[in-house]
A and B are shown apart, each in its own frame.
Chain A
C-alpha cells in the first residue's frame, strides 16, 4: 500500500500488515487458507448480523396464519431486520417482532406488537387478570395472531420495548411461502386497542 494518506490509513495498514503476517506464517493448503480468510473477516460479518439483519427459522403455531400456517410443512425461515430496532429504535403498531422472553432467559419469541406506550388495551384475553390495561412508558403489548394459543402479553403483561431484538421483514423459505410480512394487525387486535391521543 503506497498511499499512506488515504482515510483510515494507519489502522487499515496495521490490520493489513497483521493479516499479511498471518498469511505468511500459515498453511499453504488452499482450503485452509480459504477458511482462515473467512475467519479473518468474521468480526465484520458478526457485527453485520448484530446491527444489520439476520436469518432465522420460526417455530411454533402462535403466529398462524401469518407464519407457519401449516405445521406439517417445513418451518418458515425469515429475515429478521435489526437495523430498524437496534439503530433506529422505530417501534410501530402491527410490526411482527422477535423479542427476548421476559420470563425465560435466552428464549426468543415472535409476536405482533399491537399497542405502544400510552395506548389502552380495552379487551385483554384470558388469562390476563384485568380487562383493561394502559401501557406504561417504554413498554408495548405483544400478542400472537392465533389468539388463546400463544405465550404473549396476556400471560406476562406489557413487555419492555428494550427486550425487542428485531423485526421480521419477509419469509424466505419454503419457496412457495416467499413474501413480505403483512404489518397490519389481524382481526380483532386493532379494535381492542385505543391509541393514545396525539397532542
Chain B
C-alpha cells in the first residue's frame, strides 16, 4: 500500500506532463513551428546551413487551394518517406511547364501539363537541387505547409515575399 501511495503522485504528474506535451505537439503540427533548414538547393534564398524559419501549416490546412506560384512550400519528399524538403512552387494544376529550361535534366523543349491534384516544385539553385525535374509533379497530399519568415540569424530576419511577376499580353 505504502509503495502505491508513494508511486501515485509521480505517475499522475507524468500523465499531466504527457498531456501538456501532446498539446504542444499538436500546436506545432497544426499551426506552425520553427524549423532549421539545410542544403544547397535553395541558395540564394536560404543559406546552406544555420538558418531557422517559421513554417506556417495552418493556412494550407484551412485552405489547400490557396497556394500561389512563387510560394515556398514544405513537403514530404516523394523519394524518401519521412524526409521533409522545401522548394518553390512553380506550377499549379493545369499549368504547362518547361521541364528544365537549362536542358541538363531533360531537353529544354520538353513540356508537361501539371495533372489534377499535383503541383510543380523547383529549388532556387537549379544546379544543386533534386526537385520535380527528377520526380515529376508532386501530389498536393504530400504538402505540409509554407514558409513564412526567417528568424535566425538575426541580421537576416526576413518575411518571405512572393517574388513572382506576371507578363500580361
B118 touches A6 (CB 8 A): no
Quick check: is A126 within 8 A (CB to CB) of the other chain?
Answer: no
A13 touches B13 (CB 8 A): yes
C-alpha spacing A181/B142, complex, angstroms:
27
Q: Which of B10, B25, B139 contacts A103 (CB 8 A)?
A: B139
B14 touches A7 (CB 8 A): yes
CB distance from A128 to the nearest CB of B (A): 15
Task: Give the A interface residue count (CB, 8 A).
Answer: 38
> Known interface pairs A138-B80, A162-B78. Does A8 touch B117 (Cβ–Cβ under 8 Å)?
no
B interface footprint on A103-123 (CB within 8 Å = 1, 0 otherwise): 111100000000000000000
Q: Which of B6, B9, B81 contacts A162 (CB 8 A)?
A: B81
B26 touches A15 (CB 8 A): no
C-alpha spacing A161/B12, complex, angstroms:
39
Quick check: is A136 within 8 A (CB to CB) of the other chain?
Answer: yes
Task: Give the B interface residue count (CB, 8 A).
Answer: 35
> Known interface pairs A14-B20, A43-B26. Does A7 touch B10 (Cβ–Cβ under 8 Å)?
yes
C-alpha spacing A19/B79, complex, angstroms:
44
A16 touches B16 (CB 8 A): yes
> Known interface pairs A6-B10, A8-B14. Does A43 touch B140 (Cβ–Cβ under 8 Å)?
no
Residues B85-137 near A (CB distance < 8 A): 115-118, 135
A106 touches B64 (CB 8 A): yes
A interface footprint on B61-81 (CB within 8 Å = 1, 0 otherwise): 000100000000000111111
Instruction: Report A's interface with B, CB cutoff 8 A.
Output: 1-3, 6-9, 11-16, 19, 40-41, 43-44, 46-47, 50, 89, 100-106, 136-139, 160-164
